[in-house]
Amino acid sequence: MAFNALSFAKTLLRFSKKTLLEELKHVDARNTFSSSNINIKTPRLLRSFSYLAVDVDPDHVDPKLLSDMVRDKDTDSLTQFGGIKELATLLGTDVKRGIRDTHVDIDTRKRVFGVNEFQKPQSKGFLSFVLESFKDTTIIVLLVCAVLSLGFGIKQHGWKEGWYDGGSIIVAVILVIVVSSVSNFNQSRQFKKLSAKSSDIGVEVVRGGRRQSVSIFEVVVGDIACLKIGDQVPADGLFLEGHSLKVDESSMTGESDHVHVNGDTNPFLLSGTKVSDGFAHMMVTSVGMNTAYGAMMGSLTRELDEETPLQARLNKLTSAIGKVGLLVAALVLFVSMIQYFTGNTRDDMGNREFVGGRTKFDDVMNAVVGIVAAAVTIVVVAIPEGLPLAVTLTLAYSMKKMMRDNAMVRRISACETMGSATIICTDKTGTLTMNEMKVTEVWVGKKKIDEDGYLAPSLVQLLREGIGLNTTGSVYQPQETSQPEISGSPTEKALLSWAVVDLGMEIDEVKQHCEIIHVETFNSEKKRSGILMKEKRGSNRFHTHWKGAAEMILAMCSNYYDHAGEIRIMDDEERVQIENIVKGMATKSLRCIAFAQKSSNVYGKLEESELTLLGILGLKDPCRPGVEEAVESCKNAGVKIKMITGDNVHTARAIASECGILDPDEELEEEAVVEGFQFRNFSQEERMEKIDRIRVMARSSPLDKLLMVQCLKQKGHVVAVTGDGTNDAPALKEADIGLSMGIQGTEVAKESSDIVILDDNFSSVVTVLRWGRCVYTNIQKFIQFQLTVNVSALVINFVAAVSSGKVPLTAVQLLWVNLIMDTLGALALATEQPSNDLMKMPPVGRVEPLITRVMWRNLISQALYQVLVLLVLQFKGRSIFDVSEKVKNTLIFNAFVLCQVFNELNARKLEKKNIFEGLFKNKLFIAIVGVTVALQLVMVEFLKKFANTERLSWEQWGVCVGIAALTWPIGLLVKCIPVVTNE
């Protein structure tokens, strides 16, 4: 009879051993199976499920069954599959070598089981931003006024002439809405891209026997993923091998207790959970939306447009100014109405506009609508809604530039906060140094071993075991003639490389001869890791191997091996000699890793005393190029650097001196370096008294780092912290700005941080500091610029309305000014690049007011000049220039706009007298100023009906430019006036 391979595979997945055996009894043993994916060698092998040799293509495995099994942690279903190894066979996975590393195999798995991506909430479209803009109350009132004006205008003057006033307001409002919506839509897309980038996690997988790093989005079903402390589990899967694996499943279950995962009782691993202890290899069984965490992970996509502290402060400022604007608008409305209805206003011909009983109703309504529109427009101009937009533009622009400078912003509030930082607490390894470890010194006993030095074979074998077994790294040998590929942390890679090259270690051979019984993974508190192993051949002896920080391991030893393999007792004198060797290595900036072991004929636990020292290896990690300059730059900027490291005090002191954090000639040097246990044992008063003088903390635990951050914050500092490990998470969260490392950083550290330094380089931390200060300064520039316009426009319209009953700046003209301020002005000043001057200023700190005395000085002087000049034009302009009322109003409008254009250049430099410095480096600023002037020319000369203007002569344009140009010398003179700072 014919037999279908697909139905057989599904049957295999759905039935228990007993049911499957019954099904198979009905199969005629003489049948030949056409599918190459199923190979049943002889009928007698059907007696037991475990003897059935099956190789099923991934096309024949039901993804839903796998998903349900892991989600429900259903051990019965796993048993029905025949266990983890049988399931690996069904998925075409080798438990040691992983899947085949071919595009065809990987693409097939993606097609059948899906990709490891999550459905994200649909982002808002452009129309959504348009509708949000229409919800603004002032916009709605303006549109109502415009419609009324349109209706009465058409009724009074007909279609040809009557639509100008109302239509102009409608067009201006629509223009404002469109520009605002386009800007917000673009920022939303930018934030979405950054959010996607921050979700792209690197995952280590084994494919074709080779350990490699791939994007989390490239993980497929059947992959063997390597997990270590701090990693995020990339997909649902099953535990294959590992030790002491504990997983934080609080994101799934809400329970804070960490779950122990092993191959016996609980082999299930859920996507999105975090590894809190141990290490393991897992086999991926479900990806993307098929995982238990799929929907939840989709919701974890960070929305980066949260309100920042600075935006909150600006919203309060906007609200306060808006209230003043409403009051002014109400007064203008009240006074204008009284003046109109008492007959004190006149038209362009000099006739009274309102004569009781004679004026037509349509004329009255047109006048009333015009007065209301002017009042509403005053509110629109008064409310600086461009301030939050300026912050958004500045932050978005800065985030994009910072990404190019190897800093990915996860929380946009960190951009502005970083500008206020007064202290940076930095790691050593990988941040100040290259994180490229290499073994440069080897000591066995009291003898330094050169490259050609002799080591006893028995000692060599013990070192091979201590390095090759007690590691989370791996060695892959593609071919006998090629160089081995070594994976793992930089320290593990350096140790494994030395063992392979200098000791001739073959890691597979070492693992074949030994059986690992128990593992204690590296702990940042104890700073060591250990294994208990048993020899497989010719002996029943058990061996304990430890490796870790030299002084920690040395304290556990009572004996040591000499280079001839002889065990010698370590008395007090020899212990001091070996400790001096460690100190000597540390003063050369070497990280000292020691190895020790103990043998026994009796099975027991990991021994922690009376060990025998195997040897001490010195690893060199050179300082990064440019670190010394970066540290000096921070010092000049008034930002103090504190180095917090797990290395011993001698290594820490040497590196800190090399980087410029410590000055060897300083009298405070002894107080400047402490060890973690000293710091935590200080009383609270001692810590607070000494903390500002501490520059380096050695042998520190994560809790010491957290304690330092808390103390610094209590002292009033704005603290930035760098970290890369899981245990750095508390300090990263506690800090005002958490900076995690993108290369060596764990996912837990990245989740807890605000900014990810993509190249793990301290110079990039300084770049973030520069950009943070740039963001803060750019926003201050825009505040000064916009408030100058707000004050000028309010005062001019209020005084004119109260005195004459008419406002010189119409609704359309004020909307145009509003557009220049809110969008073009914000974009121009938001894109100013960080300059070296920023790193010569002291940090802002926590309590510095947003509008400084320097800004008030500049703002008031410019606003006062504009008000005086434009009011002279308002009351004496017709007689001075011998022009009509309409030309006079056009002169006022044109001079007012050009004043803002010239004052925009003044705003580039809050204190420096040379406002043109660096101008040509910001081509966007020049382009925006050019566009603004060109559009103003079009408004005045070609859109007379729309803007209610008259064409101006060359002489009149020259007058307007001259009035505006005077803002430069006034700004220069004002900056000569000394200002007492707020400090």
Compute the half-sphere exposure of residue 854: CA atoms within 13 Å on the CB side of its CA: 19
Query: Residue ranges of the alpha helices (H) in 882-966?
Result: 885-906, 923-941, 944-947, 954-965
Burial of 733 (0-12, 13-18, 19+ CB in 10 A): middle
**How far is the C-alpha of 430 from the C-alpha of 408, rounded, in Å?**
17
Using CA atoms in the order 704, 709, 715, 720, what is the torsion angle rounded to 10 degrees? 150
Cβ atoms < 10 Å from Cβ of 135: 8
Q: Which two tokens stand for residue 843?
A: 């940090």
Closest to 704 in 3D by CA, of 675, 676, 732: 676
What are the phi and psi torsion angles at 345 (to 5°)?
-110, 145
DSSP code for 727: G
Q: Is there a catalytic annotation at residue 450?
A: no
Token pair in block for residue 667: 């009298």
Residues 6+ apart with CB under 8 A from 512: 536
CA distance 642 to 693: 10
Q: 72-86 b/e with 16+ CB inside 10 Å = b?
A: eeeeebbebbbbbeb
**Rounded to whole angstroms, what are the CA distances from 334 to 128, 166, 354, 583, 956?**
37, 22, 16, 84, 34
DSSP string, 811-871: HHHHHHHHHIIIIIIHHHHHTPPP-GGGGGSPP--SS--SS-HHHHHHHHHHHHHHHHHHH
Cβ atoms 234, 282 nearer than 8 A? no
- Characterize the bridge pairing of strands 737-741 and 755-757: parallel
- Cβ density class 941-970: b for 16+ within 10 Å, e for less: eebeebbbbbebeeebbebbbebbeebeeb
Residues 6+ apart with CB under 8 A from 705: 425, 644, 697, 721, 723, 728, 731
Q: In one letter, which amino acid is 604?
A: G
3-state secondary structure of 404: helix
Read off the amino acid at residue 904.
Answer: E
Rounded to a whole number of angstroms, the distance between the first and last alpha carbons of the chain is 94
3-class DSSP state for residue 733? helix
Catalytic residue among 57, 165, 223, 427: 427
Q: Which of 869, 887, 879, 861 is nearest to 941 (CA)?
A: 887
Token reading at 611: 């060990």
| Residues forming the active site | 427
